[in-house]
Structure 1
Amino acid sequence: MTSQRTTTEEAAMSDPSSSSSSPPLRRGLKVLGTLLITLSAITPASSVFIIAPGVVGQAGSGAFWSFVMAAVVGIFMAFVYAELASAYPVSGGEYAIVGRTLGKLPGFVILGLLVVTQLLIIAVIALGVGTYLAVLFPGVPGPVVAAVTTAAATVLAVFDIKLNAWITGVFLAIEMIALIVVSALGFFDPARSLGELLTSPVAAVDGGVAPVSVGLIVGAAAVAIFAYNGYGSAVYFGEETTDAHRGIARAILWALAITVVAELVPITAVLLGAPSLEELFASDNMMGLFVSTQAGETVNTVISLAIALAIINAVLAIILISSRMVFSTGRDTAWPGAVSRALAAIHPRTGTPWIATLVTGGFATILCFADEKLLLVVTGTSLIVVYAALCLAAINGRRNGTTAHAAYRMPWFPLAPVLALAALAYVIWQNAMDPEAGRTSLLITVGVCAVAALYYALVLRGRDKWVLRGPEEEDTTAPETAAR
């Protein structure tokens, strides 16, 4: 370990633009605060109301099994995330971990994907606010509402991280209450038995319903995986969480467990309680139809407002996450000297990366006026590549010893990363078979990876400018072989 630290320290000292002297992020979070922000970024209510209908539209009542399969994949990935994050609880998140375990080039490729997609994802989520506010304000301009939401969330994100954890916690509670109401509406007045749901799933066929194939259920699981995504975001707060080596792993595992329950239970309730599956499958607003039918328009209006609050909360949480990543790119001197130093700045009073936060929110606010379909296509498959890189990082970290100091070790290694890679390969194949969106998204992802690799090779590699840094009190360096 001594030689590892020496290698990184010498590289940092040889770089005059080094940001390693900037003050560290303030450790103001306990595991609960980190968990609340992470769950807010996942926003289970938004997944149930926005993503789940797409799964139901494809797999019908077989969506229950699709979400169960996705939960199994989620467990595998949560194990991978937890081990890697306990070894490197740094604000750079996935790119910093991949760079320390697989090498700098793969790490910078993941950084390129994250820089592009994280900013776009904020805009994609923010654009959903107008949809649910339209219940009270018909005709409200979606992009304007999204931009105002993003700008306001950016201002909040500059403040102390403990304050933001409290804000996200309150909003998250409202979101969970809405999901409890939806669950109660289905379980207290079921239209069919649980046994029927488990053994005889059906999907829409020519205006009616018919038994759904296993292939459609498995295919829909690829979408359900994205509904659970976000539990690994806890790693971005590793430098602001006390006892991060142990705490971040717990936050990740708890985030997945709570997310699975918070999404699978109401989805099951809707499939059990919907009076007519034919009408449910044919509706453009499945969840709204279910709530209106079971409880009336007033309750549907209240639930819609709760979903709007959940989306606003998610925007705030993802800005908090993304700004930590942007801050880390500055500290690691990924950009020209003046830009890197600015992004690595910490506010003296709030202890937050304030310039990185403003830059993140500013770009995301502008992107709210971009075409939503384009945003979805660009971000569609990048998560698959990030997940795959983390699986390889977990395997290689065990092999070369870069994760030997991890406080958490996943059970049954290497079962989790190997099975997760197999599932991800299937998802990639499914996307490749979709010429309209999936294949285009894959090509864009490959293009972003290629541009990132060229930037690293032509700008950073020759002068060894990109130096992976972390808190001085923690060993976040990689072996010399992995850093080349």
Structure 2
Amino acid sequence: MAPTAQQLFRRKPVPEMSLETGTDTGKSELVRSIGLFQLSMFGIGATIGTGIFFVLAQAVPVAGPAVIWSFVIAGVVAGLTAICYAELASAVPVSGSSYSYAYATLGELPAIGVAACLLLEYGVSAAAVAVGWSQYLNELFDNLFGFTIPDSLSQAPEQGGLFNLPAMILVLLCTLLLIRGASESAKTNAVMVLIKIGVLVLFIVLGLQGWNSDNLSDFTPFGISGITSAAGIIFFSYIGLDAVSTAGEEVKNPRRTLPMAILIALVTVTVLYILVSVVAVAAQPAAEFEDQEAGLSAILENVTGQTWPATVLAAGAVVSIFSVTLIVIYGQTRILFAMARDGMIPELFHKVNPRTHTPVQNTIIVAVVISLLAGLIPINFLAEMTSIGTLVAFLVVSIGVIVLRRTHPELPRGFRVPLFPLTPILSIAGCLWIIQDLRAVTIWVFLIWVAVALIWYFAYSFRHSHLGRHEHVGLIDDEGGPH
């Protein structure tokens, strides 16, 4: 019997989500151990990757010194979405991020489509980022010790190696941390984030010594179109703010903490990026940015006349990528955890270790898949796939804010989107504007990937859905029965 439209678009009631996760009772299957500072560090850590260290080489040749405005525009588009995340995270504070938001607002079938996007955003990007870590680690070893890991152990087979050992080791280290517990992972991440913020502040302070106003004289050589094109390139340096929303069930006082952490991360990242871009274009002529692989470290070498800044920035990139990989793998496991609780994927992903209060089997499976991708496949094209996956997830969140205001106006919200409905509408427009600039082949492969996810839905999820069976996988109350 074919499923009806009513079944395909059945929505999971938000009060039931809150009951399952103990949002208002304080009881949760996972331990609520993460505070505001650590959660803010999650958002900052997932966002500041290697992008800012190297994106200027692609963006300045397109916009000239006006790339400063490109950073502002990209920050505004990302900020509009982050503000929408802040409201939904405070209204639906669960682990599933935009998958759970879509389930509550748009229905089961769209939620599976969003889950496919999140698998691209988190799983594939973790592998791509781990491959990048291997390259920076080699650069750091070369600067410090004068040797590099041989290609046979640091490149994928397609690139002439056997496998990428450093990338696989990175995934293993992150996995061991995550299995120990969310609190330990959050503390380690906070230290790494403070280090990479310190590296960027060092660049700003030293780079100011090379300030030359002449470098800003021809400010907009490529006009408004150059500024907007560069904003599209830069936008992906802001991706990661949504990682905060995957921690919904391990946060103290989630209705207040989640939106606050998203906004703190947004402001911190945006201010750092704009200051870095201002200092960079004032310290070096725009023409010299083209094909400049070393990025920020080359600018500091020119300003200081010394080579040590390259070593410091390589170390900053190594720490940055470790932090990003840790949070991205964490986010992926929590999304799968929420999906398994709903019956969308096998129950194995929902099992929590009674000692560490972490989904250990889930984490190990995710780590094995990501390490194989990172060790054996060059991820250049898949890295672009993460972009479209993220943008579609952003789009759904912005739509979800509008829908939830209409369907559940009475829900308690720790934060409300200002200038509603203009803010989510502008966020939707911004995401569509960037998607239409992506390559056609990326969009086609993405559509095929979503089609595969929908086949999985009809083959497995539709029949196993707890909502469809009227089952409730929530917490057990003190009398031993379900809430």
Q: TM-score range by the shorter chain?
A: 0.7 to 0.9
Aligned-residue offset at 1:221? 0.8
Equivalent in 250, 259, 270 of residue 269 of structure 2: 259
> Kindly tell me: are residues 308 and 374 of structure 1, through their superposed partners in 2, closer, same or farther at Cα, counting changes over 3 Å?
same
Matches within 5 A, 1:161-310: 161-192=182-213, 197=216, 200-201=218-219, 211-274=221-284, 276-295=285-304, 296-310=306-320
Shift of 1:48: 1.1
Q: Is there any run of 5+ residues in structure 2 with no aligned partner, and where?
A: 1-11, 21-26, 156-163, 478-483
Aligned to 2:69: 65
2:106 equivalent in structure 1: 102
Secondary structure of 1:380's counterpart equals helix
Q: 1:362 and 2:359 equivalent?
A: no
In structure 2, relative to structure 1, the CA distance for the partners of 1:403 and 1:200 (3 Å cut) is farther
Offset from partner CA, 1:428-483 (integer Å, 9 cap, x none): 2212xxxxxx2111111111222222322343335644679786599xxxxxxxxx
Query: What SS does structure 2 have at the residue aligned with 1:381?
Result: helix
Structure 1 counterpart of 2:481 = none
Q: 1:102 to 1:306 in 2, by over 3 A?
A: same
Q: Aligned partners of 1:146, 1:291: CA distance in 2, in Å?
A: 28
Is 1:109–1:453's contact at 8 Å kept on the other side of the alignment? yes
Say if 1:33 and 1:165, in contact at 8 Å, map to a contact too.
yes
CA distance in 2, matches of 1:283, 1:246: 43
User: Conserved in 2, the CA contact under 8 Å of 1:323 and 1:356?
Assistant: yes
Q: Distance in 2 between matches of 1:90 and 1:265?
A: 34
Cα distance change, pair 132–89 in 1 and its aligned pair in 2 (3 A)? same
C-alpha distance in 2 between matches for 1:402 and 1:362: 42
Shift of 1:388: 1.1
Task: Name the CA distance, whole Å, in 2 between partners of 1:418 and 1:396.
Answer: 12
Out of 82, 87, 93, the position equivalent to 1:89 is 93
Contact 1:90 1:237 in 2 (8 A): yes
Do structure 1's residue 450 and structure 2's residue 451 form an aligned pair? yes
Per-residue CA distance 1:396-426 (angstroms, 9 max, x = gap): 1112227733221111101111111111221
Distance in 1, Cα, partners of 2:360 & 2:96:
16
Q: Counterpart in 1 of 2:130?
A: 126
Counterpart amino acid of residue 346 in structure 1: V
Retained in 1: the 8 A contact 2:207–2:300? no
Deviates more, 1:406-415 or 1:374-383: 374-383
Q: Using a 3 Å threshold, how does the CA distance of structure 1 residues 8 and 379 change in structure 2: closer, same or farther?
A: closer
Compute the displacement of 1:185 (Å): 2.1
Q: Distance in 2 between matches of 1:166 and 1:282?
A: 37
Root-mean-square deviation (CA, aligned residues, Å) is: 2.6
Per the alignment, residue 40 of structure 1 pairs with 45
For 1:188, what is the secondary structure of its paired residue?
helix
**Partner AA of 1:457 in structure 2:** F
Cα deviation for residue 294 of structure 1 reads 1.8
| 1:478 aligned residue | none
- 1:320-349 CA distance string (max 9 Å, x none): 2211112222222212xxxx3321111222
CA–CA distance in structure 1, aligned partners of residues 16 and 224 of structure 2 = 53
Structure 1 length-normalised TM:
0.84
Alpha-carbon offset, residue 281 of structure 1: 2.7
The whole-number CA distance in structure 1 between the counterparts of 2:28 and 2:253 is: 19
Whether the 8 Å CA contact 1:55–1:224 is kept in 2: the answer is: yes
2:179 to 158, 167, 170: 158
Aligned to 2:332: 322
Distance 1:418 1:58, change over 3 A: same
Aligned-partner Cα distance in 1 for 2:17–2:302:
62
**How far does residue 62 in structure 1 lie from its aligned partner after superposition?**
2.1
Aligned-residue sequence identity (percent) comes to 23
8 A contact 1:90–1:470 mirrored in 2: no
Matched position secondary structure for 1:430: coil
Moved more, 442-451 or 375-384: 375-384
Matched, 1:80 2:84: yes
Change (3 A) 1:395 1:57: same
Aligned counterpart for 1:374 among listed residues 378, 381, 388: 381
